[in-house]
Amino acid sequence: MSELEKRKGKLWRTQNKINKVKALLDISSLNDKERQEIAAFKAQDPLKTDGSQTKHQRISDQCDETSNGEPKSKKFKEDNGAELSPNVSIDSSERPTLSEDQKEELRRLLKERRKMLKRVPRFQLGDVGMQAELTTSATERVPIFCSDLQNLLLHSLFPLNYPVCYRWFSMDRVGSLKSVQILFIEGAGISDYLKSEEQLTALSDSNFKSRLEVIMPAVYGGDTIEEFCLVPLSRIQGIKLTQGFPSLEEAVKTSKYQLYKVLRTYFPIKTKEEEEKSENSKTETPLQNSEEQKSDQTPETKKIELHPNDKFPRTNLLLSPWQMIEEGYPLLLNANMKEEYKDFVHTKTSYKEVTNLSPMYGVDCEMCQTTRYRSELTRVSIVNEKLETVYDSLVKPPNKIINYLTEFSGITAEMMKNVTTKLADVQKFIQENIEPDAIFVGQSLNFDLKALKMLHPYCIDTGVIFNITGDRYKKTKLKILTQKFLAQTIQAGSHGHDSVEDSSAALRLVQLKLSKSIEFGDQVLSGVSCPDAKKHKELLDVSGYATSLFHHTSINDRQVTITACPDVIEKYVDYINPKILTCVEVNEDGSCDSLVTSEAKSGQVTCYVAPSNDHVTKRVATGESLSIYHLQLSEQERDELAIGDPSIVQRVNQWTSRLKQSACDNSLSIVVFCGRELSASGVGFVSLNAEPPPRLSFVPKNPCSGESL
């Protein structure tokens, strides 16, 4: 968790405490006012003789001063129900006392109750999770991702056997969880839920305490089932997997693991098959940084897929999607971002999968203030890995410059006199000449991309990967980093910055880090990791590799059921080993052609093929570790849901209600609206169905008579 997230969370908690104190003061003042009204009435307003009562009389009847303002219902009563006078005192000698044996029994019961409470699991959101909640305003909300929901599932099923870094939630006593149920509804998004929130009572706050915005694969053209079923391969698994193979690629071909090559990204990415087809149809001639990248590769380099000059995978330095959101990079992930960046264009119409041989380019822009009272692009420079200037041009902004900011930009009025290059010309050059798997490098690169009004998926930010303060939140200036690590002075004098110099400095810093270790120049990582450069020579780049979720459930003896319609089941089957797969057909009347009994082998995956969505949720879980229900709305149902048609809203509410009602104690229920294709985000609803706290059953008896007191 970054320092920024910690500070935001601390501010959020402090504000909550302030609000609670204010509410307490308001309640106290209202109580004081009411007491004053009662006292004033008793002193001034005599009782009416006509039998009618005033408001103050009714209040006085309910709240008497002699009983400390408590309602009559709270006064002491005798066993027969008669009220005791407040002036009647009870002799302490008449009060029932417990014998030592009874006290010991009570202590034993209390201790047993505490033990039972410690076995009840608990789920709560972290700071990142609270920022994604629907109760947070849309402008301040930061959504989580489909992979975050997957992490919750993995931690719930394999708390000890599978290492999961969960950044948005915390869960205690996970071992007490009996089962996990998850319902996917494809074709429903956050806009559909917000439109019909009042009618969707099954998803109310009382049933699902945690309701969060989620960036689902449908938003960026991905596949929900694929991303849900594919678990990223850990480095330890990668090392074990490659034993006896020359490379990870070779191990994938013959491994008992079911591995799949995936790219977790939010941009249009071409598959290898599509790349091969396009290469056969036309030859591209992009800018090449080094011909040696493809020709001079030792067997060892080929094995671990490293650039000849790198000692660890350069893909390890790429910003993750949630880091890009946190750092303010332009992304089209939700409605607010799409509106903010509606004039932005992609650096390529389609991208290739980034690798450790992908070329890097240093990018830096200079801006001047225009009549719009904002900074606009006036110069852009791009350098390649040989530190050769690929592109350097002054740019004429669409609005008149009112402040050249020369002390920072290095731009003067004289320099801009005959400039005709426009922003569209710069964008066109980048789109036509930069490789589709190129990595952009820069200091606070988000500002440069915003100045260019462009979107790019592969970015390395020197302000993130270098940290000399030990505080993630505090970034060091490029000038200081260059002076400390490169022994070079930049941005000196009063002539302002030089974008070629700055872009070259950022690229050289990244190259230096790649030649050392991932901890080099990062006090945060150095504090928690052992800076051993030799270790990184042997590290495999496992980014982009994944194994099936059902492989993990099988080796950990977890029973899984999947209930869906035939076309959805076919997609799941692609990720299930046939040896552990059983298919059962659900008939119209709800009966099944074959049933899975308690004698079924542990680790088995059973697919229930249902004839319709209504039949999917009617099947009740019978003790499986993981129950997956997957619904797919038709085009007509999606259109009806978009306008809030009562019939489809009622059906969705019924589906989710069945899931909640069938949940057993100490189980986790998750409902996911999978979003709409290339538009609205999804929603995740999480509820921990904890076992109710045990009630004490203790009846003390009279030690003399043996009767209950």
Residue 298 has pLDDT above 70, yes or no: no
What does the pLDDT look like over 676-696, one tens digit per residue? Answer: 876 678 999 999 998 776 666
Task: Give the CA diameter of the chain.
Answer: 110
Strand partners, 361: 440
Topology adopted by domain 132-227+547-689:
Alkaline Phosphatase, subunit A (3.40.720)
Task: Name the residue ranges covered by the structural domains of the chain.
Answer: 1-75, 132-227+547-689, 314-537
CB-based burial of residue 43 (10 Å sphere; 0-12 exposed, 13-18 middle, 19+ buried)?
A: exposed
User: Percentage of residues in the chain with pLDDT exceeding 70?
Assistant: 72
- pLDDT at position 174 is 86
Asked if residues 462 and 442 have their Cβ atoms less than 8 Å apart, the reply is yes
Q: How confident is the model over 173-219, as pLDDT tens digits?
A: 888 889 999 999 999 999 999 999 999 999 998 899 999 999 888 87
> What predicted TM-score, i.e. pTM, was given to this entire model?
0.64
132-227+547-689 and 314-537 have identical folds:
no
Are 545 and 238 in contact by the 8 Å Cβ rule? The answer is yes
For every residue of 310-329, DSSP letters joined together read -SS-GGGGSPPHHHHHHTT-
Query: Which sign does the torsion angle of CA 424, 430, 436, 440 carry?
Result: negative
Cβ atoms of 411 and 404 within 8 Å: the answer is: yes
Report the alpha-carbon distance of residue 180 to residue 670 in Å, rounded: 8
Contact 424, 453 (CB under 8 A): no
More confident residue, 305 or 216: 216
Any bridge partners for residue 181, and if so which? 627, 669
Q: What is the pLDDT of residue 1?
A: 56
Could you write out the three-class secondary structure of 119-160?
CCCEEEECHHHHHHECCCCCCCCCCEEHHHHHHHHHHHHCCC
pLDDT reported for residue 467:
86
Q: Mean pLDDT across the stretch 691-706?
A: 63
Averaged confidence pLDDT in the chain: 79
Instruction: Give Cα 539 distance to the centre of its chain.
Output: 27
pLDDT digits (tens, 9 = 90+) for 348-381: 998 888 889 999 999 999 999 999 888 999 999 9
Q: Residue 203 burial by CB count (10 A; 0-12/13-18/19+): exposed, middle or buried?
A: buried
| pLDDT tens digits for range 389-413 | 999 999 999 999 999 998 888 899 9
Note the CATH architecture for domain 314-537. Answer: 2-Layer Sandwich (3.30)
